[in-house]
Structure 1
Amino acid sequence: MIQYHGLHHVSLTVTDLEQAKNFYSNILCLKELPRPAFDFAGAWYEVGGQQIHLIVLPTSQTIRQEKSISSREGHFALRVKSYDETLSWLKQNGVAVLEKPESASGFAQIFCADPDGNLIELNVDKKDI
């Protein structure tokens, strides 16, 4: 049997590191972490004790060609404190979103994508709207 302590990190491939860093640092407001001196470009971010690792690999098979936002495509979810404040911030910064405040999941969800089309869900419990 495997026993888990939790999720450590999610790795995402990106094509333009500066554009990706702008999104994760300035739009998603995540704190960049020191990163080992790998022989490839990337960046690490802290999210409540877990991490997001960005890896520059323009030839990646995981870069989505279709950049539309869909809640059914592969994504990762971040829990936020305020649905309304998060939605307002994203819209204020020109980020396209898919709003699902009444999702059957039990979460109020906001979906968006980074510049490479990696999908991100931002959510709160419905009771916290």
Structure 2
Amino acid sequence: MPATAMNHFTILTDNVDETIKFYNEFLGLESGERPPFDFPGAWLYAGNTAVLHVIGGRALPESREGVIDHMAFSATGLIETIKKLERHEIDYSLRQVRPSDPWQLFFFDPSGAKVELDYPSDEPTPKK
């Protein structure tokens, strides 16, 4: 039985509120319905889909590296996102492999998870 779609990512954090605020502000994800688990956390939604599960209240691993390198989302508003990252002094990298490929914007969330936002190739880009 093949997988038919990506369902969600789960990240661990030592600051649930800061993590929720970050994903709300930078990705536009909204907190939504979550089962009544016995640990702190949130489910963050893109539209009607809970794409990111945030779990708090657990010890974070000392090494935050693992076999998953990053999570990627489709997005719009590249210039606005870059300006917001700069206002918050969040380091980022922007690349486009070929002119017809999407723009890839990489940065890290407050817990150290690597985030990629993919923008259409015809999105306006910041002036260098």
What's the TM-score once normalised by structure 1's chain length? 0.77
Paired residues, number = 120
Map Cα deviations across residues 41-76 of structure 1 (whole Å, 9 max, x no partner).
1111112443110011543448627xxxxxxx7111
Ranges of 4+ aligned residues in structure 1 off by more than 6 Å: none
- Which residue identity lines up with residue 125 of structure 1 in the other structure? P
| Residues 1:37 and 1:47: Cα distance change in structure 2 (over 3 Å) | same
CA distance 1:95–1:25, change in 2 (3 Å): same
Quote the residue 1:82 is aligned against.
77
The percentage of counterpart residues that share the same residue type is 26
Assess if the C-alpha contact under 8 Å between 2:94 and 2:106 holds in 1: yes
TM-score (norm 2): 0.78
Whole-Å Cα distance in 2 between the matches of residues 18 and 110 of structure 1?
A: 24
Aligned-partner SS, 2:2? coil
Q: Does 1:103 align with 2:102?
A: no
The corresponding residue for 2:109 is 114
Root-mean-square deviation (Å): 2.4
Give the Cα–Cα distance (whole angstroms) in 2 for the partners of residues 58 and 15 of structure 1: 7
